[in-house]
Amino acid sequence: MEIIKNPDAMTAWADQMRARGRTISLVPTMGYFHEGHLSLMRKAREIAEEVVVSLFVNPMQFGPSEDLDRYPKSFDQDARLAHEIGASVLFAPGSDEVYPPGFQSKVEVAGLTEQLCGASRPGHFTGVTTVVAKLFNMVKPHFAVFGKKDFQQLAVIKKMVADLNFDVKIIGQPIFREKDGLAMSSRNSYLDADERKQALCLYQALQLARQKVAGGEKNAAGLKQEIFRFIAASGKVEIDYVSIVDCRTLSVCREITDKSLLALAVKVGKTRLIDNTLLKGDS
């Protein structure tokens, strides 16, 4: 596995692989790898001959009061894990290389970014789409693999790719969970023992909602209120949002359908966690 830190060197490598007729898949990450990340890399290995894993903690997607300075890092371990999975390249540019002096451009997707995490994290998705667009241009992948835990992010990136005619296929992979159901996240490392137990309220709420729908519940507003009350009663947590939306448009659902997605964002202690599930069919 090569470790590349310079964007021009990354693009030269990609040009060389494409000239040989090799297919490239990209797994964009911010590092501190867990099994969720590794599942994305395994999928990338299945669909392409060369796998590029990018590791870049993107300052543009963090707000002024968020956790940029303390976001967990483990470069040596990440490099080892990416190598063991069979990645061809670990692309780890610095901030000055991604956003050089004088950088002024942004990529923005309207509409899909105005609710859910976009409402409580202004500017977040502009940071995401800008850096992902730059990664696509640097790495020139045929495929890019993202996790469905960040469901809104996945929808926004798909929209950007369609609107701007990026020649890359976006692959969404299921949420990877701990044995007790907690969605894997690098930010789980912030949780102490009590907070870790409280965090299970997200998965428990998703399971409760699916049970209610399986039992015949069709009213989205009523189900949303019940889930809100369940989470609020489950411990010292701060609810950002409980939303039931159409998984294609992210518009609010009035009635539960096979396209209805329950999305949650909750702060446990100082740690903001997100999770989601389709309310019917495979979650």
Q: Is the pLDDT of residue 132 over 80?
A: yes
pLDDT at 236: 85
Same structural domain for residues 153 and 265?
no
Q: How many CB atoms lie within 10 A of CB 69?
A: 8
Instruction: Write the CATH number for 151.
Output: 3.40.50.620
The verdict on 206 and 268 lying in the same domain is yes
Q: Is residue 42 part of a domain?
A: yes
Residue 56 CA to residue 221 CA, distance in Å, equals 39
Give the C-alpha separation, 263 to 273, whole Å.
Answer: 11
221 and 112, same structural domain? no
Give domain status of residue 282, yes or no: no
Contact 32, 74 (CB under 8 A): yes
Tokens for 245, please give them. Answer: 């939306």
- Asked if the structure places residue 181 within a domain, the reply is no
Model pLDDT, residue 65: 86
Output the pLDDT for position 283. 63
CB contact at 8 A, 36 and 148: no
Range among 61-65, 135-139, 277-281 rated most confident: 135-139
Q: Is residue 84 part of a domain?
A: yes
| pLDDT given for residue 97 in this prediction | 97
Both 210 and 134 in a single domain? no
Q: Is the same domain home to 74 and 37?
A: yes
pTM of the model: 0.96
**pLDDT (tens digit per residue) in 1-37:** 999 999 999 999 999 999 999 999 999 999 999 999 9
State whether 144 and 82 are in the same domain.
yes
Assess whether 24 and 140 both reside in one domain: yes
Domain membership of residue 180 (yes or no) is no
Strand runs labelled E in the chain: 2-4, 24-29, 50-55, 89-91, 143-147, 169-173, 237-246, 260-268, 271-278
Cβ neighbours for 5, distance < 8 A, ≥ 6 positions apart: 91, 92, 93, 94, 97
Question: 127 near 160, Cβ under 8 Å?
Answer: no
- Do 61 and 155 belong to one domain? yes
Torsion, Cα 138 139 141 145, to 10 degrees, reads -100
Within 10 Å of residue 60's Cβ, how many Cβ atoms?
A: 19
In-domain check, residue 179:
no
- For the annotated catalytic residues, the residue numbers are 37
- Looking at the structure, tell me whether residues 75 and 168 fall in a common domain: yes
Q: Is residue 145 part of a domain?
A: yes
**Interhelix angle for 124-139 vs 7-19, to 10°?**
50
Q: Which of 120, 141, 173 is the last residue of a domain?
A: 173
**Are residues 55 and 121 both part of a single domain?**
yes
Q: Mean pLDDT over residues 236-248, rounded?
A: 96
The enclosing domain of 202 has a CATH number of 3.30.1300.10
Q: CA 251, 243, 127: angle at the middle one, nearest 5?
A: 70
Q: For the chain, how many structural domains are there in total?
A: 2
The pLDDT value recorded for residue 269 is: 94
Would you say 113 and 156 are in contact if contact means Cβ atoms under 8 Å apart? yes
pLDDT given at position 126 = 98
Last residue of a domain, one of 173, 205, 239: 173
For residues 163 and 245, membership in a common domain is answered with no
Where does a domain end: 119, 146, 173? 173
pLDDT reading at 99 higher than 80: yes
pLDDT digits (tens, 9 = 90+) for 29-79: 999 999 999 999 999 999 999 999 999 999 999 999 899 999 999 999 999
Q: Is 124 in the same domain as 192?
A: no
162 CB neighbour count, 10 Å cutoff: 10
CA-based R_g, the chain, Å? 19
Q: Given pLDDT bands bounded at 50, 70 and 90, which one contains residue 282? A: confident
Helix (H, G, I), strand (E, B) or coil at 70: coil
**In a domain? residue 283:** no
pLDDT tens track for 74-96 = 999 999 999 999 999 999 999 99
Instruction: Tell me what the mean pLDDT of segment 247-260 comes to.
Output: 96
3-state secondary structure labels for all residues of 176-198: CECCCCCECCHHHHHCCHHHHHH
Q: Could you list the residue range(s) of the whole structural domain that residue 10 is in?
A: 2-173
Cβ proximity of 246 and 260 under 8 Å = yes
Sole residue written with tokens 């970014």:
113
